[in-house]
Amino acid sequence: MHKGTAFTQEERASLGLEGLLPTAVETLDRQVERVLGHLGAKPNDIERFIYLQELSNSNQTLFYATVMSDPARFVPIVYDPTIAEACLTYGHIYRRPQGMYLNRHMKGRFEEVLRNWPVKEVRFICVSSGGRILGLGDIGANGAPIPIGKLQLYTACAGVPPEGLLPIHLDIGTTNAALRADALYTGLREEPPEPDAVDAIVDAFMKAANAVFPGVCVHFEDWKGDDAIRLLERYRDRYLVYNDDIQGTASVALAGIVTALQIKGAALADQRILFAGAGSAGTGIADMIVEAMRGEGLSEGEARARIALFDIGGLIEKGRKDLNASQKPFAHDWKPTEDLTDAVKQIRPTILIGVSTVGGLFTEAVVRTMARTCERPVIFPLSNPTEKAECTPEQAYEWTGGKALVACGVPFPDVTLDGRTFHPGQANNFYIFPAIGLAVQATKPKRIDDAMFIEAARATADQVSQADRDKGMLFPRQNNILETERTTATRVAESIFERGLATVKRLTDIRAFIESLSYTPGY
Ligand code: NAI
């Protein structure tokens, strides 16, 4: 019944469906019209989310036709921010299974269990432990909607065919005692094991996934910060794997920086960058900027010297004894300080990036101090949800006299200041990972490396029109996302071929091939 009223008279007769469907035979467009009516009548986005997920189970074509009819409107419902609410209440709003649910007690049998998935040609797995979901912390099995929603964006934003996508929640347990005590919780009611045991579980999973689905690309999403960093390092040279929270985030932040510097007419290699927050997002962005600066001719040491990190313990400098392996390369000879304004005075950053999870951290003093030594400060308060943003775009524009170039982690409304209207950008990872997915599908690379994400960042930045740049927009418009991502995927695929990483023969017309791979909803 997956086509519903779109079954033709002939199909109804041959499939024994006569009398089981209303008389009218409808087109997909007519069905979308009805769905839009249903969605319009729902009282809020969480109800729309539930409706759309039910639709994706009963009629995938109609689901994608609806979402792709207006991605800018529906992506925030299918994914962030609405999905956060769905995660919080997952055990309570659960209707039916989607994707796969593996748990640590299946460790010796992952291969056997994965063979239960009915599709044999799986190209992408998105796997989450639920260990650090959006801004919600460890919510264990309540994070199950995340890989589902994330993979739906591959299709909705870049046209990656949905048949080859497999969302998996890998349940290693949760530290969240309140959830473990919830009668309707759907996961293991256990604490997660030590990191060594987590690694052994994920090793077994990766081995099984590659045995059952040879050449599969595994996208890690929303794992606890330490697990995320460690597992990416562990697998990046062994399997086709990447981590969106680290590499996707870094790439989209870099895309915003590249556009901002194009607007300023400045080179990345000449910037001084201060990060407020040195967790997985902060160090991930910093590492990718180092790679991008090396591409502009700096040595690794010179690039790292241009970047400073500031975390809950203050400015990261050589005297700090509490630094992890990702932070140590950014410990320079700074004067110790626990005051962010002091750090800004010392470092005189041209770019300030907030990934601290602390709302309001960019005070008026911080922003004004920065604006005193920098003509057009680049200020990215990326923490989310909204109340965690380090400052609002309005504050950033106001405190810099409209000079700041601003991108945030969540959408903010336009700001009008002294008769000028500004459009703060949203550094949304969805500009990047679906395009990477499409490029991976087209080229089947030996591995996925940071250079691909840097190319994706540059390609995304290059697609912001001059008219939009004039309004301070740092990312392409969302209503044309499919075309944008195809262009980005084409550039990434070209670079994969050029660097000899593809395992398929070089294509004569990469763009045409990417388009031919692309899924278009239809019966
Ligand atoms: P995390 O918890 O790993 O790191 C947070 C960091 O902030 C830590 O280094 C901590 O020491 C520091 N911090 C805490 N309080 C501070 C304070 N008062 N002053 C300075 N630093 C302080 O978190 P993660 O994963 O790195 O994410 C950070 C934020 O970035 C989150 O809010 C997340 O939503 C946001 N983010 C945004 C993305 C986007 O816009 N595309 C993508 C990924 C993350």
- DSSP codes of every residue in 444-495: -BS---HHHHHHHHHHHHHTS-HHHHHTT--S--GGGHHHHHHHHHHHHHHH
Compute the distance between CA of residue 66 and CA of residue 92 in angstroms, rounded to an integer. Answer: 26
Compute the distance between CA of residue 262 and CA of residue 270 in angstroms, rounded to an integer. Answer: 13
Residue 520 pLDDT level (bands cut at 50, 70, 90): very high
- 100 CA from centroid of ligand 1 (Å): 29
316 lines ligand 1 (CB under 6 A): no
Mean local confidence (pLDDT), 288-313? 97
173 lines ligand 1 (CB under 6 A): no
Place of tokens 């690694």: 199
Largest Cα–Cα distance of the chain, in whole Å? Answer: 80
274 lines ligand 1 (CB under 6 A): no
Q: Dihedral of the CA atoms 21, 22, 28, 32 (nearest 10)?
A: -110
Architecture of domain 261-428: 3-Layer(aba) Sandwich (3.40)
Compute the distance between CA of residue 469 and CA of residue 139 in angstroms, rounded to an integer. Answer: 39
Q: 414-459, pLDDT tens digit by residue? A: 999 999 999 998 999 999 999 999 999 999 999 999 999 999 999 9
Lowest mean pLDDT among 37-41, 198-202, 504-508: 504-508
- 356 CA from centroid of ligand 1 (Å): 3
Exposed, middle or buried by CB within 10 Å (0-12, 13-18, 19+), for 477? middle
Residues of the chain with pLDDT > 70, as a percent, come to: 100
Q: 110-134, pLDDT tens digit by residue? A: 999 999 999 999 999 999 999 998 7
Residues facing residue 124 across a β-bridge: 165, 217
pLDDT at 149 over 80: yes
Strands (DSSP E) contained in 35-162 are 100-103, 124-128
Bridge-based pairing of strands 351-354 and 425-426 is: unpaired
- Residue 77, token pair as written in the block: 């419902």
Q: Which CATH number fits domain 1-74: 1.25.40.10, 1.20.1370.30, 1.10.10.10, 1.10.3720.10?
A: 1.20.1370.30
Is-catalytic flag, 79? yes
Give the fold, CATH level 3, of 430-517. Rossmann fold (3.40.50)
Reduce the DSSP state of residue 154 to 3 states and report it: helix
Residue 127, pLDDT score: 98
- Residue 417, token pair as written in the block: 């200041």
Considering the chain, tell me which residue range(s) the CATH 3.40.50.720 domain(s) occupy. 261-428
Is-catalytic flag, 397? no
Compute the distance between CA of residue 41 and CA of residue 406 in angstroms, rounded to an integer. Answer: 35
Residue 4, pLDDT score: 94
Task: Identify the active-site residue in 79, 242, 397, 431.
Answer: 79
Distinct helix (H) and strand (E) counts, the chain: 23, 14
- 515 CA from centroid of ligand 1 (Å): 37
Considering the chain, tell me which residue range(s) the CATH 3.40.50.10380 domain(s) occupy. 79-239, 430-517
Mean local confidence (pLDDT), 369-382? 97
Residue 268, pLDDT score: 97
Complete DSSP assignment for 219-288: EE-S--HHHHHHHHHHHTTTSSEEEIIIIIHHHHHHHHHHHHHHHHT--GGG--EEEE--SHHHHHHHHH
Instruction: Tell me which residue has its CA closest to atom 4 in ligand 1.
Output: 279
135 lines ligand 1 (CB under 6 A): yes
> Are the C-beta atoms of residues 91 and 184 closer than 8 Å to each other?
yes
Instruction: Please report which residue ranges of 313-413 form alpha helices under DSSP H.
Output: 340-347, 364-373, 393-399
Task: Identify the active-site residue in 3, 64, 90, 150.
Answer: 150
Compute the distance between CA of residue 99 and CA of residue 171 in angstroms, rounded to an integer. Answer: 13
Bridge-based pairing of strands 425-426 and 420-422 is: unpaired
Reduce the DSSP state of residue 171 to 3 states and report it: strand
- What pTM was estimated for this model as a whole? 0.94
356 lines ligand 1 (CB under 6 A): yes
Q: Dihedral of the CA atoms 311, 382, 285, 373 (nearest 10)?
A: -70
Mean local confidence (pLDDT), 36-47? 97
How high is the mean pLDDT of the chain? 96
Q: What share of the chain is helix, strand, coil (3-state, %, to 5)?
A: 50, 10, 35
Angle at 119 between CA 115 and CA 125, to 5 degrees: 80
What distance lies between CA 391 and its chain's CA centroid? 22
Residue 1, pLDDT score: 58
pLDDT at 2 over 90: no
Which of 133, 355, 429 has most ligand 1 atoms within 8 Å of its beta carbon, as the pocket-test mutant?
355
- 209 CA from centroid of ligand 1 (Å): 31
Residue type, 76: P
Q: What CA–CA distances, in Å, run from 265 to 39, 190, 260, 271?
A: 45, 54, 8, 12
Q: 321-352, pLDDT tens digit by residue? A: 999 999 999 999 999 999 999 999 999 999 99
Mean local confidence (pLDDT), 517-521? 93
- 380 CA from centroid of ligand 1 (Å): 12
- Count of residues making up the chain: 523
Instruction: Tell me which residue has its CA closest to atom 32 in ligand 1.
Output: 383
Q: 467-514, pLDDT tens digit by residue? A: 999 888 999 998 899 999 999 999 999 999 999 999 999 889 999 999
Tell whether domain 79-239 is in CATH 3.40.50.10380: yes
Residue 479, pLDDT score: 86
Considering the chain, tell me which residue range(s) the CATH 1.20.1370.30 domain(s) occupy. 1-74
Query: 192: cis peptide before it, omega within 30°?
Result: no
Place of tokens 């969240």: 176
Buried b (16+ CB within 10 A) or exposed e, 286-298: bbbbbbbbeeeeb
> Comparing C-alpha atoms, which of 452, 401, 445, 404 is closest to residue 424?
404
Compute the distance between CA of residue 518 and CA of residue 504 in angstroms, rounded to an integer. Answer: 18
Mean local confidence (pLDDT), 83-90? 92
